[in-house]
Amino acid sequence: MSQQTPDPQLAVEVIALTREYTTRSFFGTVSRVTRALDGIDLSVKTGELFGLIGPNGAGKTTTVKILTTLLTQTSGEAYILGLDVRKDLYEIRRRIGIVFGGERGLYNRVSAIDNLRYFSDLYGVDSVVARDRIPQLLKAVGLADRADERVEKYSRGMKQRLHIAKALVHDPELLVLDEPTIGLDPGGARDIRNMIREMQKQGKTILLTTHYMFEAEELCQRVAVISKGKIVALDTPSALKKLVRDISVIELRTYGVTGDYVEAIKRLPNVVRVIADLDSEVQTIRIQSPLGADLLSQVTSALPSDAKIIDRTIKEPTLEDAYLRLVEE
Amino acid sequence: MGELSELTPGKKTEGYLARRGQVLKACIVLTAKLFFADPQWIIPSIIAPFIFTLVAFFLFGGEASGSSFLLYLVLGSGLMGMWGTTIYGSSNSIGFDRWNGTMESTLAAPVPLSWIALGRVLFNTFEGVINALFILVIGLAWFQVGFGVVNPGLFFLASVSTFLSLSAFGLLMCTVILLSRKGGFITNSMEIPVYIATGTMFPVSILPMVALPFSFLLAPTWGIEAIRLSALPGYTGLTTSYWTDLALLAVETLAYLAMAFVLFKRVESYAKRNGTLDEY
Amino acid sequence: MTSTESAPVAALSAEARLRMALRVFRGAFLFGRKGLIVWDSWEMWVMQIVITPIAQIGFFALLSIYLQYPSSVTQYIVIGNAMQSMSFAAVFAVANITSQDKWQGTLPSTMVTPANRIALFIGRASFQVLLSALIAAAGLLYAATIFGVSFATADFLGIAVTVLLTSVAMTGFGLLISAVGLYMRTAMIVANIFLFVTLLLSGVNFPVSALPAWLQPVSWVIPLTYGTQAARMAIAGSSFMALLPTLGWETLDALVVMGAGYALFTGFENLSRRTGRFEEY
């Protein structure tokens, strides 16, 4: 099914989008076809902050690449600001800003200001305007006093802020942020999230992909969960959390616990799921169960003698709990 | 931090030529800055042709007679320097983005890739001219020969034309680099064959017949002929005249440009179909 | 200590350490083969073994023909360039090992292992020894088949030993430069310059005696100089015994170069650790 006219109210409109990757053998015959996207539908309203979450390999990056005109779809339609991603490439690119995750994407051997001047020219920003806009952007992202330094000397957080400035240099209407806080320390990540909120307040539409559920929950008005190339849920974070309203979450902070304890808890009746982070000195174990507080005594008695529970809380399920149910089922 | 709300609105440049000019300027400036930030690779482009010249000098018999002969030698070396920079620098203008991690950002720009490449190639080839001049100056000083060309005006014209044809060739080689992960090695392996085929150190007339079509299809072959005709007294070379050489140069250069622009479109659509252009 | 943990290296016997070193060598050799992505396609093989040697030999042979030198001179040049064509694989690619590790970010991971350093780097370079010998052998084949060099009275044993020994020795030079790459960014420039300097100084295109007197000692530090001399003698029909003095000097030169390389390597490793310069590219 293909729609001839895109909806003018929507900044992003995706209809039955499919993307297949074909690997060929040495002789050129097709050896494997992988379906990275399997008929996804989603839409983002103008001015909305929309999240796309999913495990690695789910299709987030493929979706982002298609929407940002870096990859063509195998079938289906995708419209950005009413323009077809297949036909109106350059016009779309002039009106969107993209932040790719990670450290790549900047010219490290020149300064931040040189990077911004370059991209500003590439995106056709009037040079008189750019002369004002670039210093303003650098100030807005907190890089004004290091603007003349080579980017290779920047910390990861600083580079990410420069990425944001670069994405904004041509005043785009839509911003696509692909895991913008990945690898940042908490302070740096918080700064980026504040900037994202600020950009939305300026009326920009934002499509955000992230691995951090709390981030999606905190920032996004609606969230799509993608798993194995399909959208498995699309709603507001609170509506998605209702999917897991049948469970409570016991959150334990522990010392000295091993994988054996986690396995023991998993085997307890009425335990739906256990998510454990045992690598830090103070470990975190989240246990999903409909029993809630009633499970506490069993959880405590299974604890080995040389381990310790520092803290235990009963929590409402979060978006992460809903997400895990959605992608694992 | 300042406020994102206080930004001057991003007004865009209008007009096709103005926008293209803006892109060219941006790419020339960036490439220049990157070059001055890390000019290491320039040394092989100067050292290699210069060493080849010294070898040729020793082969030519040490204290060879005739300053025009030495000028021939030194010119050849300069030309090799320009070719070397085209092969390594120009053809890698966009390939550089691949290992630098900026390929996605480059592809996402609202301007055809060919224009970005052109700006970079222009700087790189110009830098090759500087190389050539550098080699020329060192060579003339080393061999203590004066720079007396037959016709400076025609020499200048031939040199500029050769520079433009090398740029066009570099642009074409960009597409080779982009379409294949091994593109860099393909272009690097062309280095010596191209020195031979374009007659930098010895005229193409001594090449076997089977190699001549390849020579004639390389526009700089004609540029080099024109440069020699305008610089060296009594030079004969191929049977063509200076103006015929320039005409052939012009026609082939335009053909390279046309092919390059067509191939760049293919490159971009290939990248989008396969999503692999940004992987090194 | 559980049974799965290994004893500290220093506490092992000499035999155990040798076995560990051999394992490192074998692993590094296989990695050296597979890790160099440039060799993973037939185009790269063709380029390195066919196109580049023929082009280089051809360039200088044509220059000789243009200058109307007798065919003996052309043959001299052809053999010299055939041997020199091994330099990229032996020197440049080997010198690139540490630069490549730095660029890929794997150098700290490598340096932090207890792996015997000699075994590690020689292992990775060993593949290049075989490859560069193959390239030189191919060059000599082209000399015979394309460029008309006569092998009628050649001593093939002498040629084989010369090619292999020169390949090992030049790889040693590459390791020396690779050691520089541990600390300095400029290793690849040095390798590049060295590659072209061999064209001038190693008796490739003209005898060393044609060079200015002050420059000649430099020639005799480069293993290739002995290699080209021995190769010409072997092709002309000199017996293996007659080659021995030249090959002997080349062996000595190789040992000195490799010793210097190892010393530089450990020296730079310590310096890099003190100054934190592993990560700089």
Is it the case that residue C1 has pLDDT exceeding 70?
no
Mutation target vs B (from C180, C192, C280, C281; most B CBs, 10 A cutoff) = C192
- Same domain (yes/no): A184, A268: no
What does the pLDDT look like over A30-53, one tens digit per residue? 678 888 999 999 999 999 999 999
Cα–Cα distance, A95 to B235 (Å, whole number): 58
| Amino acid letter, residue A243 | L
Q: Are residues A58 and A167 in the same domain?
A: yes
Both A25 and A138 in one domain: the answer is: yes
Residue C250 tokens read as 């080349």
Chain B interface, mutation test: which of A86, A100, A121, most B Cβ atoms within 10 Å? Answer: A121
Classify the phi-psi angles of A142: left when phi > 0, otherwise alpha if psi is within -120 to 50, otherwise beta.
left
Residues A176, A101, single domain; the answer is yes
Q: Does residue A2 fall inside a structural domain? A: no
In a domain, A4, yes or no: no
Measure CB to CB from residue B11 to each of A90, A126, A202 and give the nearest one.
A126
- Of A184, A208, A241, which one is at a domain's C-terminal end? A241
Put simply, the answer to whether A110 touches B37 (Cβ < 8 Å) is yes
Residues A225 and A271 in one domain: no
Q: In sequence order, what DSSP letters do the residues of A220-251 get, joined into one string?
A: -SEEEEEETTEEEEEE-HHHHHHTTTT-EEEE
Distances, alpha carbon B6 to alpha carbons A132, A165, A198, in Å: 11, 14, 11
Q: How many domains does chain A have?
A: 2
Asked if residue A174 and residue A55 are part of one domain, the reply reads yes
Domain C-terminal end among A241, A266, A301: A241
Nearest CA to C172 out of C89, C229, C255, C83 is that of C255
Same domain flag for A217 and A303: no
List residues in chain C touching B: CB distance below 8 A: 38, 41, 43-44, 47, 51-52, 55-56, 58-60, 62-67, 77, 185-186, 188-189, 192-193, 196-197, 199-200, 205-206, 210-211
Instruction: List alpha helices for chain B, DSSP H.
Output: 16-37, 42-59, 67-88, 95-100, 103-107, 113-143, 152-179, 183-189, 191-197, 212-217, 219-231, 242-274
Distance between CA B102 and CA B84 in Å, rounded?
A: 25
Percent of residues, chain A, with pLDDT higher than 70: 96
What is the reported pLDDT for C109? 63
- Give the pair of three-digit tokens for residue B157: 């014209």
- How far apart (Å, rounded) are the C-alpha atoms in residues C154 and A54? 69
Q: In whole numbers, what is the pLDDT of chain A averaged over residues? A: 90
Do the strands A205-210 and A174-178 form a parallel or antiparallel pair, or are they unpaired?
A: parallel
Question: For position B262, what pLDDT does the model report?
Answer: 92
| Structure confidence by residue, pLDDT tens digits, C183-223 | 666 677 777 778 778 888 899 988 999 888 998 999 999 99
Show which subunits contact C, needing at least 3 CB pairs below 8 angstroms. Answer: B
Say whether A71 and B275 touch across the interface (CB within 8 A).
yes
Q: Answer yes or no: is pLDDT of A329 > 80.
A: no
In this structure, the answer to whether residues A187 and A78 fall within a common structural domain is yes
Mean pLDDT over residues C12-20, rounded?
Answer: 64
Report how far residue B268's alpha carbon sits from residue B113's, in angstroms, rounded to the nearest whole number. 7
**How far off is chain B from C92, nearest CA to CA, in Å?**
12
Q: How far is C69 from chain B (nearest CA, A)?
A: 10
Instruction: State the Cα angle at A217 between A214 and A218, rounded to 5°.
Output: 85
Q: Residue C247 — φ and ψ, nearest 5°?
A: -65, -35
Give B-chain residues touching C188 at CB under 8 angstroms. 40
String of b and e for A193-222 (b: at least 16 CB within 10 Å)?
Answer: bebbeebbeeebbbbbbbebbebbbebbeb
CATH at A252:
3.30.70.260
Whether residue A184 is contained in a domain is answered as yes
Task: Examine the domain organization and report whether A255 and A218 are in the same domain.
Answer: no
CA distance C66 to chain B (A): 7
Chain C nearest C-alpha distance from B213 (Å):
17
Q: What is the pTM of this model?
A: 0.81
Contact A106, A45 (CB under 8 A): no
| Percent over 90 (pLDDT), chain C | 38
Residue A142 lies inside a defined structural domain of this protein:
yes
Q: Cα distance from A47 to chain B (closest Cα, Å)? A: 15
Q: Which of these, B76, B240, B221, B103, lies nearest to B161 by C-alpha position?
A: B221
CATH of the domain at A119: 3.40.50.300
Cα torsion C119, C124, C130, C135: sign:
negative
CB-based contact B26 A118, cutoff 8 Å: yes
Same domain, A14 and A72: yes
Cβ C62–B192 below 8 Å, yes or no? no
Which residues lie closer than 8 Å to C57 by C-beta, 6 or more apart? C78, C81, C82, C85, C139, C142, C143, C146, C147
Predicted pLDDT of residue C23:
64
pLDDT in the model for residue C108: 61
Backbone angles phi, psi at B132, to 5 degrees: -60, -40
Does the distance separating the beta carbons of A139 and B1 come in below 8 Å?
yes
**Residue A3 domain-assigned?**
no
Together in a domain, A148 and A237: yes
- Among A197, A221, A241, the domain-final residue is A241
Name chain C contacts of B40, Cβ cutoff 8 Å: 185-186, 188-189
Averaged over successive runs of 10 residues, the pLDDT of chain B (280 residues) comes to 73 91 95 80 64 72 58 79 78 80 90 92 85 76 76 92 91 83 73 88 87 92 92 82 95 95 88 68
Choice among A243-257, B112-126, C35-49, C158-172 with the minimum mean pLDDT: C35-49
Which chain C residue is nearest to residue B189, measuring alpha carbons?
Answer: C52
User: Alpha-carbon torsion A106, A107, A109, A113, what sign?
Assistant: negative
* Partners of residue B12 in chain A, C-beta under 8 Å: 94, 123-126, 170
Beta bridge partners of residue A230, listed in sequence order? A227
Residue A70: inside a domain:
yes
What range defines the domain where residue A157 resides? 10-241
Which of the 8 DSSP states describes residue C12?
A: S
Shared domain check, A263 and A135: no
Q: Give the separation between CA B224 and CA A9, rounded to whole angstroms.
A: 61
Per-residue pLDDT tens digits for A254-296: 998 888 999 999 999 889 889 898 888 889 999 999 888 888 8
Q: Do B275 and A100 touch (CB under 8 A)?
A: no
